């Protein structure tokens, strides 16, 4: 007889509460199975198996036991082997196992506990001891399950709140960026294109020795998120300058150049009111202030030189210029991407960080693809 359920367990299935714990007893001796079943009924639902193989089948079936009482000395597969198999299966690895055996040496008990059994009970059986040990370990398992459920709930709640925060950030950034874009309607999808250019450049440089420590995956995501705010300062530029349908004169250009400082000041005020540091806003501040700086020190507003210019601003500088060159303006036609490529290459080490230009050249086809994907005001000609 390979498997049986005691009469008590059969009765239990017919009328006891389905919320009762299920105990699986594994022993090749039918008398031992009957004795143990009698100790545990009517408090638990009792299943029984006379072999290790059948015990493993039951443990992975629809009626998963909450605890297993396992004999050590069984033919074909002993109790130690059964426990090893249970622990290798993710579906059964957390089921507590109590060895119930005639082996009474310290070495046998130590071996059983080292393998992962939660307890070790020696024959002859004493009902009070059996019930007390079973109750204790079921309570411990229940407590672990409650803690796990609570942790799972908390993790899900934290994940939900983080997601909500990120969505709020994205929506806020998009709204602010589009506010700036409405002041300068000729820019079209400039914000989306430059955002993708920055991501592409940063991804191409993440393994470069000069940039690898800074350009982690999370930083690249934050750079792409913050890039749309690069021209937020244009909301402070008068319409007669911002919307002038011709090139600006010297006085007007001086006012236009203040947009980088205005953007930096606005973002800095927002940062000062936060109760903790916000990396992506700090990147946005660096980009807003420094994306018109030049590698040779001839840019504005501070005339920074080389590595004095923050990496986020250096990336945006190239992305912004490339998009300006291939985009239509009232005072110029859009330039073919290949011609823009030549201009940027010529500015390697002058306007732009040389390594960032190299990354641009390596990913040029990606730049062209982005321009086409989001291009309503750019030149689709890649020749």
CATH classification at residue 304: 1.10.3210.10
Please provide the size of the chain in residues.
383
Domain count of the fold of the chain: 2
191 shares a domain with 93: no
pLDDT of residue 209: 96
Give me the domain span that covers residue 268.
Answer: 184-373
Q: For the stretch 21-56, what's the b/e string if a residue is b when 16 or more beta carbons lie within 10 angstroms of its beta carbon? A: bbbbbbbbeeebbbbbbebbbebbbbbbbbbbeebb
User: How many Å is the maximal CA-CA distance in the chain?
Assistant: 104
pLDDT of residue 169: 66
pLDDT of residue 178: 64
Instruction: Give the tokens for residue 330.
Output: 């009232």
244 shares a domain with 130: no
Could you tell me which residues are beta bridge partners of residue 348? Answer: 352
Answer whether residue 170 is part of any domain.
no
Burial group, residue 14, by CB count within 10 angstroms (0-12, 13-18, 19+): exposed
Instruction: Give the tokens for residue 338.
Output: 């290949």
C-alpha 355/C-alpha 276 separation (Å) is 33
211 shares a domain with 114: no
Answer whether residue 300 is part of any domain.
yes
Question: 45-49 and 22-26 as β-strands: parallel, antiparallel, unpaired?
Answer: parallel
C-alpha 361/C-alpha 75 separation (Å) is 71
- CA angle 372–354–284, rounded 5-degree value: 65
pLDDT of residue 265: 93
Which of 104, 133, 153 is at the close of a domain? 153
141 shares a domain with 18: yes
Answer whether residue 28 is part of any domain.
yes
Question: In the chain, which residues have pLDDT < 50?
Answer: 1-18, 380-383
pLDDT of residue 289: 97
R_g of the chain, CA atoms, integer Å: 35
pLDDT of residue 17: 41
Answer whether residue 132 is part of any domain.
yes
Which of 153, 173, 206 is at the close of a domain? 153
DSSP code string of 318-348: HHHHHHHHHB-BTTBPPPPHHHHHHHHHHTB
Task: Dump pLDDT digits (tens) for 218-275.
Answer: 999 999 988 988 988 988 899 899 888 888 999 999 999 999 999 999 889 888 887 7
pTM for the model stands at 0.59
pLDDT of residue 383: 44
Which of 109, 136, 153 is at the close of a domain? 153
Helix (H) / strand (E) containing 35: helix 30-40
198 shares a domain with 107: no
Q: Is the peptide bond before 57 cis (omega within 30 degrees of 0)?
A: no
141 shares a domain with 15: yes
């Amino acid at each position: 007889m390979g498997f049986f359920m005691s009469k008590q367990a059969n009765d239990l299935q017919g009328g006891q509460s389905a919320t009762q714990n299920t105990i699986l007893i594994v022993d090749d001796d039918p008398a031992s199975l009957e004795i143990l079943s009698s100790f545990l009924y009517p408090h638990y639902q009792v299943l029984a198996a006379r072999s290790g193989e059948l015990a493993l089948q039951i443990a992975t079936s629809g009626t998963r036991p909450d605890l297993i009482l396992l004999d050590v000395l069984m033919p074909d597969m002993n109790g130690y082997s059964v426990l090893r198999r249970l622990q290798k299966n993710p579906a059964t690895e957390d089921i507590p196992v109590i060895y119930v055996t005639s082996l009474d040496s310290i070495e046998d008990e130590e071996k059983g506990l080292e393998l992962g059994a939660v307890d070790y009970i020696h024959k002859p059986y004493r009902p009070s001891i059996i019930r007390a040990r079973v109750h204790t370990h079921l309570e411990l398992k229940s407590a672990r399950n409650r803690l796990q459920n609570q942790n799972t709930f908390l993790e899900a709640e934290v994940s939900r709140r983080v997601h909500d925060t990120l969505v709020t950030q994205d929506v806020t950034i998009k709204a602010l960026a589009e506010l700036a874009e409405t002041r300068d309607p000729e820019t079209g999808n400039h914000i989306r294109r430059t955002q993708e250019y920055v991501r592409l450049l940063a991804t191409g440089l993440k393994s470069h020795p000069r940039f690898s420590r800074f350009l982690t995956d999370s930083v690249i995501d934050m750079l792409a998120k913050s890039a749309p705010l690069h021209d937020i300062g244009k909301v402070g530029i008068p319409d007669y300058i911002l919307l002038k349908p011709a090139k600006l004169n010297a006085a007007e250009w001086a006012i236009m150049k203040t947009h980088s400082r205005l953007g930096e000041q606005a973002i800095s005020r927002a940062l000062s009111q936060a109760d903790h540091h916000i990396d992506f806003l700090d990147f946005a501040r660096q980009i807003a202030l420094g994306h018109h700086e030049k590698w040779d020190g001839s840019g504005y507003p501070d005339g920074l030189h080389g590595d004095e210019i923050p990496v986020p601003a250096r990336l945006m500088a190239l992305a912004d210029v490339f998009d300006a060159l291939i985009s239509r303006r009232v005072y110029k036609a859009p330039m073919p991407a290949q011609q823009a490529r030549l201009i940027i290459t010529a500015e390697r080490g002058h306007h732009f960080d040389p390594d960032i230009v190299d990354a641009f050249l390596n990913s040029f086809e990606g730049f062209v693809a982005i321009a086409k994907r989001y291009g309503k005001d750019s030149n689709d000609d890649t020749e």
